[in-house]
Amino acid sequence: MAEDYEYEDEALDVIAVGAHPDDVEIACGGTLAKLAAQGYRVGIVDLTDGEPTPNSSGPDQRLREAGDAADALGIHKRINLCLPNRRLFDGFESRVALAREFRRFRPRLVLGFGEKTPMASPDHWQAMQITDAAIFYSRLTKWDEYFEDLPVHAIRRHLYFRFADEPDVLPGHASHITVDVSDTMEQKIEAILCYESQFGHKPYIEERVRAAATMAGQAAGVHAGEVFVAPRPIAVDDLLKTVIFR
């Protein structure tokens, strides 16, 4: 059964989906903090509680850490679907569970994994497939028996993220977007460091995340950046407003 953190229950503009608590903080915490500061309602869905892990005392600790990290980023809603960590697989029940949250909170934009993460958890790849399918399921009509009569919802945009230590460019996708997170980099670091169970024994994590953001930002002419991929081309109406942001 999904577990809600204690936030008001209203529609969200953006939902970021991770396999485990701490995934979205590492991948796009700066962007989420920036969106929240800009007045958008931002949510996170963690598919699993991330337990067991070697240095954690258990699910309660991970829950506290995830709540503290969400507060650091200014997140409005955080949900854990309580799917099985280490045994996360793309399947009908997982797809429907996530699609229910999309129908419930009606985001305009969904952010999620965009590629395998070699030498890291295979749950990340499964999370990508679950998210892709849930976006499709969210808009399907004549399926009320699986969605508790929640109304259908078509998500307008879907972007893939990558981990800070993964390559800047995701293969097979041409439409890369860099978000300037110079002003929210410290919030991202603060959120990551909330996960004492995951990073307390990895003192290099802050240095690595900063270095990745610096490299991504430098390529786009800003101090710090986070890179996303659009799986489908995005059309713009005002080219000048879109490409000249300063």
pLDDT in tens, 177-204: 999 999 999 999 999 999 999 999 988 9
As a whole number of Å, the end-to-end CA separation of the chain is: 45
Question: Considering the entire predicted model, what is its pTM?
Answer: 0.93
Q: pLDDT value at position 7?
A: 45
Query: Phi first, then psi: what are they for 11, rounded to 5°?
Result: -60, 150
Over 70: is that where the pLDDT of 5 sits? no
The per-residue DSSP string of the chain comes to --EE-S------SEEEEESSTTHHHHHHHHHHHHHHHTT--EEEEEEE---S-TT---HHHHHHHHHHHHHHHT-SEEEEEEEPTT-----HHHHHHHHHHHHHH--SEEEEE-S--TTS-THHHHHHHHHHHHHHHHT-SS-GGGTTTPPP----EEEEE--TTS-SS-TT---EEEEE-GGGHHHHHHHHHT-HHHHTT-TTHHHHHHHHHHHHHHHHTSSSEEEEE-SS----S-HHHHH---
pLDDT in tens, 55-73: 999 999 999 999 999 999 9
Mean pLDDT value across residues 149-168: 86
Q: Domains of the chain (ranges plus CATH)? A: 3-243 (3.40.50.10320)
**Cβ-count burial 50-72 (b if 16+ within 10 Å, e if not):** bbebeebeebebbbebbbebbeb
Over 60: is that where the pLDDT of 246 sits? no
